[in-house]
Amino acid sequence: MKMLRFDPSDAIHPAYGVTQDQLNSLYPRLLELRREWMEADSAPPVSDENLGSSKPLNVGFYRLPKEQLDDYMTRREASELGRVFKVATALKDVVDAVVVLGIGGSYVGPLALMDACCDPYHNELHRGPRGSKPRMYFEGNGLDNDTTQALLSRIAAGGYGDSEIEKRWMVIVISKSGETIETVVAFRQFLGALKSNLKDDAAGMIAKLVVPVTGTTGKLRDFAVAIGCEEIFTVPDNVSGDFSVLSSVGLMPAAMLGLDCMKLLEGAVAMNEHFETTPPAKNVVLQYVAINHLLEKNHGISTRVLSVWSKSLESVGHWYDQLLSQSMGAGTGEGTRGATPLTVVNTRDLHSRYGQHQPGRNNHVFNNLIVESHRTDPLDIGTCDLNVDLLNDIADKSLDHILKAAIRGTNEALHQDGRPTTDIILPNIDTFSLGQLFQMLMIATSLECRLLGIDPSDQTGGPTYKSKMNNYIGRK
């Protein structure tokens, strides 16, 4: 299987504050961090003078893919992954729709997997063309009355056929703490609707059609036990919600969609092996960290743009936005030094953000996310007898050809105005490549936090808005 690649060459220039000598000077520190990482247990204390106290090295997510694969090979159906497969296999012939309730990393990770790997119009397809895989919808990620009402109406309407299966739906509710108000409010609403949908079958079916993914303790787990859920999946204690996409948080929805979860985890393991064994100058994780860190430190690059060149990867960008924002903005004071992430989809967003990105303030780096090989055959522009649009001279060119020209032209235009760019190149869009990409960005984020002296698990600044909101709704 092919590995993703990272090309930082268009960001290495004295004008950007990044030279080869500066990279060489940073490599010893990166190797030290890698050594710490490889020697760490799940969450041991690691003393670091930049952090001011002993803090755990955030490696729980790192070990998780291999642990899950090994556990599956040993215990099969009794393992967490085996149970995921068992539930997904059993329910695909019972329901035609899944409502995934979650917010933050509990929502955008599963959405990223669906958007990247499924047909863009998956939910509009009839059951046959979907391969009997359910439609999938996402809520519990906000407090919007109209979208909630619309989804309740949509799932009540059923699928595109008249069978009993097409009238039935289920809920996957994801919350590690079990206390996030957007998700728990939605769960109460959709649980009530599910009971109404099941009618006389509710008592026997609710336990099967509600699948919680939560922490080892908490209110959601207690609720799941109280209603007798047949399966409760666990986010490990040493894996935070923002780093949980390769746990059951992402695996359970992905398995319901028929995605290859084994390849997803194998891709992550392959990235781990690359990270552990490859020298810094060729190591995609260490290079990505080094380039972006030096751009921020030496050139004041405070906005990190993930420039996505495939619409199906937009939600992957939004997943990375929340990962970087939550991690780099963790804590208070010096912990606010991290770059601000922004996802754009090109060429679409070139028509709305050009003035901000090229002639605007020079405080952006553009990390391109490029797909080398698409799933479908190239679509030619084609000829037209009228030729009013004057395109017949390029009629034999494909959309892919024009896209590659747009990538090259956009990069050259940015360089002309002194804007650094890098390229993350995915061989194709499949779960193996996505496993690599998720793991690369999670490792890179955690390592960069160490460089900046930030503890990504410190969310002390986060609950302020929550406490104020609770006051206004009459809760203490």
Q: What is the per-residue pLDDT across 338-356, written as a single tens digit (0 to 9) for each?
A: 789 999 999 999 999 888 8
Q: What is the pLDDT of residues 101-128, one digit of tens each?
A: 999 999 999 999 999 999 999 999 999 9
The pairs formed by 24-31 with CB atoms below 8 angstroms and a separation of 24 or more are: 26/290, 26/293, 26/294, 27/280, 27/281, 27/286, 27/290, 29/451, 30/280, 30/286, 30/289, 30/290, 30/447, 31/280
Name residue, tokens 């990235």.
Answer: 271
276 token code pair? 């552990």
Q: Say whether pLDDT at 312 is over 50.
A: yes
Q: Say whether pLDDT at 69 is over 70.
A: yes
* 476 confidence band (pLDDT: 50, 70, 90): low
Task: Kindly provide the residue ranges of all beta strands, DSSP E only, lying in 19-105, ordered along the sequence.
Answer: 45-48, 53-56, 97-101
* 474 confidence band (pLDDT: 50, 70, 90): confident
Q: Say whether pLDDT at 260 is over 70.
A: yes
Q: Say whether pLDDT at 52 is over 60.
A: no
Confidence at residue 437, expressed as pLDDT on a 0 to 100 scale: 98
Q: Say whether pLDDT at 429 is over 60.
A: yes
Average pLDDT over residues 33-57: 59
393 token code pair? 């001279």
Confidence at residue 459, expressed as pLDDT on a 0 to 100 scale: 57
Confidence at residue 51, expressed as pLDDT on a 0 to 100 scale: 41
CA dihedral 426, 432, 438, 441 (to 10 degrees): -50
Least confidently predicted of 121-125, 411-415, 443-447, 448-452: 448-452
Q: What is the pLDDT of residues 141-161, one digit of tens each?
A: 999 999 999 999 999 999 999
pTM higher than 0.75? yes
Domains of the chain: 5-43+264-452 (3.40.50.10490), 79-259 (3.40.50.10490)
Q: Which helix (H) or strand (E) holds 243?
A: none
